[in-house]
Amino acid sequence: MNRIKNSNLTKQSKAPVFDTLLSHAKRDVISFHCPGHKNGRSIDKELKDYVGQEVFKFDVTVFDEVDSLHDPVGPIRKAQELMAEAYGVRHSLFLVNGTSSGNMAMFLSACNPGDSIIVSRSSHKSIMTGIIMSGVWPIWVQPKIDQNLDLIFSMTYDQVKEALDKYPEAKAVLVTSPTYNGIVTELSKIADLCHRRGKILLVDEAHGAHLHFNDRLPESAVEAGADLCVQSTHKILSAMSQGSALHFNSKLVDFNRVKKVVSMLQTTSPNYLTLATLDLARRQVFLQGKKDFDKVLDAAEWGRSYINKNIQNMKCFDRKEMNKLGFDLDETKLTVNVTKTGLSGYEVESILAREYRIQLDYADLFNLVAIHGEGTIKADVEAFVSALESISKKYHGKQKNWILKIPTLSTEMVMKPRDVFLSNSITKVRLKKAVGHIAAQILTPYPPGIPVVIPGERITQEICDCLMDTASKGIRISGQENDKLRMVKVFTNF
Ligand SMILES: Cc1ncc(COP(=O)(O)O)c(C=O)c1O
């Protein structure tokens, strides 16, 4: 499969936002606009001594020459058109508050208050914000867990179908793919199903901005047929932090509404350096994504097979294993299971940072996730693997008896999360006495990092037992307000 059109090479070699900012910076214009540092002049000396002053000349504000993110008619518009062409979509919009804001925008663009949407319980926290902001009814899907790999999957086709059969009124489906571990679900099948039934498919593809540009990588959301998807261009490609993009390819959603919503959610003072790097990241991945990600994939593959062959107490799953389970894998993500060292993933992460100057993006009780990006080189992977090898020799304690388990908690959504959020009728009751009440907070034990209660849900005996059991084992519960979980916030008017 040849994913990108070489005929577009000349056009895609341009970077209109970057070129405009560079020529502006070179003209040494006297600034009477925000920001107050005036081309970097008053930036703190210590910072300037380290990074230099020139970069601050890119930190400008909205004026005709550099265009406006909210009503683009010049270089920003051209750069967004180039991005859309590179990804093969009808429109792309730049985001300067990450995929978090893009996820919120997908909800507000595709749904009205009272609509229902099928969504995984293991979604990123910005999805819950989108649910609250848009006033939708979430139809939760419990993700599957693999006890051998200590891993949570994204929603499967069968799960989406089951949910759609049961709730035919659902307006949309929101899927996260790839997951933090690089697991990609059967998006084409899900897209076909959604469209056959007139449903909108939204994809949180925060970790997938690179997929489209190398044939060795899994199918991307837009290739699969998603209506809207959001990608963190800053996570794997070379945009600066907060630089993301929303891609639009839908017959079911009104693009003018998407534009309005995206504008409502973004600052009126976007960071132009972030915008320039979004433009450059698109150019870079279009022109050299194949070559760059061949190298990254080779390095990651080398690391994966070295760990599996030579490091006794650690293991990485591979693409074949994922395929057998019905998923695909973005092999640039290296998940290393460390349970046999007798240490948790958190502990190994901390040793790597303190003793080996290696910082990971993510760890949990069981696993480390090494995120490879366009800038990763083989020497980095060698350093990582060699550090793991020496940690594995030094620590080989008894494997802890942790289990990644989600209770099969069946409950009902009685109120919309938004109505609970806006309500003044919230009180605290003892956990033991909470049965029958409607939850007014989110409580998420780690592991597995999936909420046990969500605002608007009826608290059952099973949920109380699960929370009390979890708290008694000293497992961390995100959302609890005191050291020990004794009270839970509930809605009073029921
Ligand atoms: C699956 C997923 N979605 C959304 C986000 C939010 O992305 P951003 O940091 O670009 O706002 C993240 C961040 O880690 C994520 O992992």
385-435 pLDDT tens trace:
999 999 999 987 777 777 666 667 777 899 999 999 999 999 999 988 999
My answer on whether 248 and 300 are in the same domain is no
Domain boundary pick from 286, 313, 343: 286
Ligand 1 mean position, distance from CA 297 (Å): 22
Same domain, 239 and 340: no
The rounded Å distance from CA 104 to ligand 1 centre is 12
Q: What is the CATH number for 308? A: 3.90.1150.10
Give 179 Cα–ligand 1 centroid separation in angstroms: 10
Find the mean pLDDT for residues 167-179.
98
3-state secondary structure of 455: coil
Return d(Cα 278, Cα 44) in angstroms, integer: 26
Q: Contact 156/184 with Cβ under 8 angstroms?
A: no
Residues flanking ligand 1, CB < 6 Å: 98-100, 103, 124, 126, 176, 180, 204, 206, 232, 244
Distance CA 341, CA 469 (A): 26
Choosing from 286, 301, 322, the residue where a domain stops is 286
Tokens of 156: 């499967």
Residue, of 298 and 364, whose pLDDT is higher: 298
pTM summary value: 0.95
Residue 343: predicted pLDDT? 93
Question: Does residue 410 sit within a domain?
Answer: no
CB 248 within 8 A of CB 89: yes
pLDDT band at 494 (very low <50, low <70, confident <90, very high): low
pLDDT for 29 beyond 90? yes
Does 146 share its domain with 52? yes
318 lies in some domain: yes
Domain identity same for 56 and 76: yes
**First vs last Cα of the chain: how many Å apart?**
57
Quote the Cα angle for 368-372-375, to 5°: 145
Is the residue at 2 inside a domain? no
Q: What's the average model confidence in pLDDT over 190-195?
A: 98
- Taking a C-beta distance cutoff of 8 angstroms, is the pair 243, 234 a contact? yes
Shared domain check, 312 and 244: no
From CA 133, how far away is CA 117, in angstroms rounded?
14
Q: What is the model's pLDDT at position 150? A: 86
| 206 falls within a domain | yes
Range of the domain at 347: 289-394
SS3 content of the chain, % helix, strand, coil (to 5): 40, 15, 45
Judgement on whether residues 305 and 277 belong to the same structural domain of the protein = no
**What span, in angstroms and rounded, lies between the C-alpha atoms of 51 and 69?**
27
pLDDT at 2: 59
Kindly list the distances between the CA atom of residue 144 and the CA atoms of 213, 268, 373, 450, in Å, as whole numbers in the listed order.
29, 41, 27, 11
Mean of all residue pLDDT scores within the chain:
94
Whether residues 135 and 170 fall in one domain? yes
Q: How confident is the model at residue 5 (pLDDT cuts 50, 70, 90)?
A: confident
Same domain membership, residue 195 and residue 325 = no
Number of structural domains the chain divides into: 3
Ligand 1 nearest atom to the CA of residue 235, by list position: 10
Residue 443 lies in a domain: yes
What integer pLDDT is reported at residue 56 of this predicted model? 97
